[in-house]
Chains A and B, each alone.
Chain A
Amino acid sequence: MGIQLSTDQVMALAPDSSSANAGKKLAGARHWQHPGQSAEALWGECQGSALYQVRVDLSSTTIQCSCPSRKFPCKHGIGLLLLAVNTPSAIPTAEHPEWVATWLAKRSAASKKREKPTTPEDAGAPQAPARTDAAQSKRAGKRLTRVSQGLDRLDLWLNDLLRSGLASVETQPASFWENQAAPLDDAQAPAIANRLRALATIPNASPDWPERLLAQVGRLALLTHAFRQGEKLDTALQEDVRQMIGWSIPEEEVATRGTVVTDDWLFLGQRVEHGTRLHTQYTWLLGIHSGRNAMLLQFAVASTPFSKVYLLGTRQHADVAFWPGAYPQRARIEVRRGEIAPITERLPGTESMDTFLASIAAALARQPWLERNLCVLQNVTPVYDIQQQRWSIRDQSGAALPLAKGKYWRLLALSGGRPIDFAGEWDGEALFPLGVLADGAYHLL
């Protein structure tokens, strides 16, 4: 196969452990009839209660199977990939059979199908009907009014909160916050509603909770303030404000309304945040030549899997479209070009902690509400303080930043006390490790 995949990477694609185990059972050559591979695709037929056809588009690792399972990727897909990884000799190189060739042709044609949910607000919402221009502008006007009124109410409530003092929220139940968030949803400002909901977890969660809570409500106030500035703001910043309040841009329009960057992209790693109703997945990309960071977001409700699967620890030439904004960060993959290859070269990053922090300050100057950023550092050493049980990443000059709470033995083993290249997610206080390049190989953490 063109890609050097590891068994771990394939198993990570499985939506749950029962699929993973079922997939393992199908990973023997005796289950597959007429398997084949080419530079573009991998395919095979598996006998279940019927003969199922599985095809894999290698440029994006998209798996399609004709079985009726609602799980994605299904056990047949996992099984075929495992077979390809563990016993490559079992799958001969061959010409595309007709059912694979037509599928590949359809995929590369320009038709864009309706995508799965891309914003937390859309997840679970029914499809919207088509709109006409006049109706559209009338609706837009109504929405603006509703949002404005909703934010006015929010500000009044925030003022009340500060008047009576933050200490009073310590004993409040979750409904205290929900009662303010729900009207914001009704006012068509769902993103800021979710921001408010997130505040419910702060009281009493840590010794410095008052400071954290104040910082967050302060940011909320700045957001409503920015909204009222309207046209006085830079156009790009207006886009950010609108998105943070709740106006979303459909995936199909991102390329036209935002910017598209073509580059060789490194898929550095992923982090999943588990919420009570929603799971958010952050996948981080770095453009080798442009130096741009791209943050791919996916959402999933409850136990459904994320719809797109990204192969991590790889590089690929691709067009990436960024949502418009003052510091473009959120992105999606528009077109994949070329083969997926493993990351083997040094990560393009800075050697100095101070340079990195300066770049964060510059980013915040452009978009003050940024919450997280990609951090790629060269020649840094992970350090473990045994006494205090604290983990840090340290550059050659001695400057260091802490790692998020956790145990990072693999990281320490891969470095052996020597400098390595590091990729992580920085949230303003700690680094969450995504992967490291050591001895010419990229390892996910």
Chain B
Amino acid sequence: MDAFVTAALLGTAQVDTTHIETGTAVDTLTAKLSEAQEKERALLLTAGVWAIYKQAGKVAEQIPTIPEPAPSETLPPCSAVAATLLARCMNGEYSEEILNEALALLRDAGKRLPPELLPDALNKHSSETRRAVAAVIGERGRWLSQFNLQWSWVRATTADNALPSDAETLWEEGTLVQRRELLHTLRAIDPTQARAWLTTVWKQEKAEARASLLETFEVGLSSEDEAFLETALDDRSSNVRAIAVALLVRLPASALVQRMQARADAMLTYTDGKLAVKLPTTLDKAWERDGIAIKPPSGKGERAWWLTQVMAVVPPAHWEERFSCSPDDLVKAATSHKWSDAILEGWTRAAILHKHPRWATSIDDWLHQQKHDKGSWRELRGKLFACMSPKAAENRVKYIITHLTLSENVDWEDMLAALPRPWSEELGKVYLTTLQLHINLLLRHTKSSDYQPWMTSLTIAATALPRTCFDAVVEPGAWTLPETEMNRWEKDYWAQELQKFTETIQFRQRLMEEISR
């Protein structure tokens, strides 16, 4: 520290300051001070001059070498207007789905993000968005990612789903996030090799790593993985065991499924159109190993829960074969049984797991005929839709929304949300026409609870409508609200929601036009 600073800290009462010098030109300037002023004043003035002298004499530091600049870009950038639109997607003004749609458009157009958007793009977290981003960050994006640990995921993700050139080194030395990405990519290219990699390091990995890496086996899953997964059923970590079970149940020929089938056969018999259920009183360890939880969730009976779980694993086609009847017959039989809920929940989960469209439609028919809304089934029903063919699913939804009278209290928004996106043009048109119809009807009635599903559906439709339906939405005057003596507040609310809806569609339209320009 300067002699000045020490002197100033301690005070002139304690330190003799008459001989403190800077050893620079400042001294000539301050030489006369000590005679003319009190020592405190002299110290102050000298300190002031010294501070300014140092400031004026500031010298730059030297940085001899810098990292290599980013390589030249191979893809052209998008237009400036497209860049401003993408910036709005990036900062969360619209949903993540719309961002992913925009990024996919960019990739299909063979363009890249402008540099100022790169930090925001690299900061995204969901793996789906990250994959979309990786395709359009260009050379500069990859260069930029090396400077921030949070962006290390880029190194392991390549745009064209090939392994990066230093894959082996990255596998050995990278972070868990990077290794998982690598394994994920490798499973798509060569699942056997991926399995070999994992087997080699399996014993040394921590539980968290084992779980995360094992999850990648959902890509390229085949019966060849069975042996490895079967050993994972005995893993120390419950997480890893659960993942192994979730993977094995997707292989109908696996030993686990066969074991389940045997248990199921012992439980369920079908004679003369009637089902009979025989449940065990206790479970042994083998059941638990195969993934059956003994303790049920609250609200369910213990043995009913076992029944559901076992049914949930067995491929539904097995029952058709065993009992020589159709899904509809079986569903009918189940509804009249006292354990109907348990059985049907199990079969529903099995249909979803094994993606059986015929069973999905049968079960959905039954759900549709239920007079009371099975609120707890809402989520499952949505998943059933994912199993059906897109056409079948859309047809069902079309039917529901066109036959909806205001007195029915069916929550169909989840079904709408579960439909694959973008919707077909046909569904889009039906939706829009029915929407207009309902707005007119709703505003003439006073029951306020009925417009809720339509309100929610607007957010879904804003992202799901196909581009061929855009013009119908953005036409000026397309959404005129009828004159009504109804609640001013409700009318305003509708006007506001419709405006948001139209604006989102307009935004998507502009994005499509600008990116492909």
Instruction: Answer yes or no: do A and B interact.
Output: yes
Q: Residue A443 contacts which of B11, B12, B64, B116 (CB distance < 8 angstroms)?
A: B116
Segment with Cβ contacts to B, from A217-225, A251-259, A266-274, A329-337: A217-225
Complex CA distance for A439 and B10, rounded to whole angstroms: 55
Contact call B10/A218, Cβ cutoff below 8 A: no
Complex CA distance for A202 and B69, rounded to whole angstroms: 40
Contact call B115/A162, Cβ cutoff below 8 A: no
Residues of A with C-beta under 8 A to B55: 360, 364, 428
Contact call A398/B44, Cβ cutoff below 8 A: no
Contact with A along B97-121 (1 / 0, CB 8 A): 0000000000000000001101100
Complex CA distance for A211 and B8, rounded to whole angstroms: 9
Contact call A383/B63, Cβ cutoff below 8 A: yes
Q: Residue on A with the closest CB to B47?
A: A218
Residues of A with C-beta under 8 A to B88: 7
Segment with Cβ contacts to B, from A103-111, A127-135, A191-199, A406-414: A406-414
Residues of A with C-beta under 8 A to B441: none
Segment with Cβ contacts to A, from B141-149, B262-270, B305-313: B141-149
Contact with A along B6-26 (1 / 0, CB 8 A): 001111111000000000000
Q: Residue B61 contacts which of A162, A364, A401, A418 (CB distance < 8 angstroms)?
A: A401
Query: Which of B10, B63, B64 has the largest count of A CB atoms less than 10 A from its CB?
Result: B63
Residues of A with C-beta under 8 A to B40: 158-160, 162-163
User: A384 at the A/B interface (Cβ < 8 Å)?
Assistant: yes
Complex CA distance for A418 and B66, rounded to whole angstroms: 10
Contact with B along A365-401 (1 / 0, CB 8 A): 1001000000000000101101000001011001111
Complex CA distance for A418 and B143, rounded to whole angstroms: 12
Contact call B46/A218, Cβ cutoff below 8 A: yes
A371 to chain B, nearest CB (A): 10
Contact call B115/A414, Cβ cutoff below 8 A: yes
User: B448 at the A/B interface (Cβ < 8 Å)?
Assistant: no
User: A155 at the A/B interface (Cβ < 8 Å)?
Assistant: yes
Complex CA distance for A399 and B55, rounded to whole angstroms: 17
User: A residues 1-24 with Cβ under 8 Å of B?
Assistant: 6-8
Contact with A along B63-78 (1 / 0, CB 8 A): 1101111100000000
Given known A-B contacts A365-B56, A416-B70, A165 and B8 have beta carbons under 8 A apart: yes
Q: Residue on B with the closest CB to A169?
A: B9
Q: Residue on B with the closest CB to A30?
A: B499
Query: Which of B2, B46, B144 has the largest count of A CB atoms less than 10 A from its CB?
Result: B144
Contact call A399/B116, Cβ cutoff below 8 A: no
Q: Residue B62 contacts which of A211, A221, A361, A398 (CB distance < 8 angstroms)?
A: A398
Residues of A with C-beta under 8 A to B144: 409, 412-413, 416
A347 to chain B, nearest CB (A): 17
User: B236 at the A/B interface (Cβ < 8 Å)?
Assistant: no
Contact with A along B25-52 (1 / 0, CB 8 A): 0000000000000101101111111111
Contact call B66/A417, Cβ cutoff below 8 A: yes
Contact call B69/A417, Cβ cutoff below 8 A: yes
A83 to chain B, nearest CB (A): 12
User: B140 at the A/B interface (Cβ < 8 Å)?
Assistant: yes
User: A302 at the A/B interface (Cβ < 8 Å)?
Assistant: no
Given known A-B contacts A162-B8, A214-B4, A394 and B52 have beta carbons under 8 A apart: no
Residues of A with C-beta under 8 A to B143: 416-417
Residues of B with C-beta under 8 A to A69: none
User: B58 at the A/B interface (Cβ < 8 Å)?
Assistant: yes
Query: Which of B1, B56, B60, B503 has the largest count of A CB atoms less than 10 A from its CB?
Result: B60
Residues of B with C-beta under 8 A to A349: none
Residues of A with C-beta under 8 A to B2: 211
Residues of A with C-beta under 8 A to B64: 398
Complex CA distance for A282 and B404, rounded to whole angstroms: 61
User: B84 at the A/B interface (Cβ < 8 Å)?
Assistant: yes
Q: Residue on A with the closest CB to B149?
A: A386
Complex CA distance for A8 and B1, rounded to whole angstroms: 47
Contact call A165/B14, Cβ cutoff below 8 A: yes
Residues of B with C-beta under 8 A to A163: 11-13, 40
B133 to chain A, nearest CB (A): 13
User: A167 at the A/B interface (Cβ < 8 Å)?
Assistant: yes
A379 to chain B, nearest CB (A): 13
Contact call A210/B66, Cβ cutoff below 8 A: no
B8 to chain A, nearest CB (A): 5
Contact call A418/B38, Cβ cutoff below 8 A: no
User: B5 at the A/B interface (Cβ < 8 Å)?
Assistant: yes
Complex CA distance for A354 and B47, rounded to whole angstroms: 25
User: B201 at the A/B interface (Cβ < 8 Å)?
Assistant: no
Chain B: residues with CB nearer than 8 A to chain A? 1-2, 4-5, 8-14, 38, 40-41, 43-52, 55-64, 66-70, 80, 84, 87-88, 115-116, 118-119, 140, 143-144, 147-148, 496, 499, 503
Chain A: residues with CB nearer than 8 A to chain B? 6-8, 25, 28, 30, 155, 158-160, 162-168, 210-211, 214-222, 225, 353-354, 357, 360-361, 364-365, 368, 381, 383-384, 386, 392, 394-395, 398-402, 409-410, 412-414, 416-418, 428, 438-439, 441, 443
5 closest A-B pairs by beta carbon, nearest first, are: A165-B11, A218-B48, A417-B69, A218-B47, A215-B51
Can you list 14 contacts pairing A with B, beta carbon distance less than 8 Å? A158-B41, A163-B13, A210-B5, A218-B49, A221-B41, A357-B59, A360-B58, A384-B147, A398-B64, A400-B60, A402-B61, A412-B144, A416-B69, A417-B67
Known A216-B51, A360-B58, A384-B147; further 5 A-B contacts with Cβ < 8 A: A30-B499, A168-B11, A211-B2, A218-B47, A413-B118
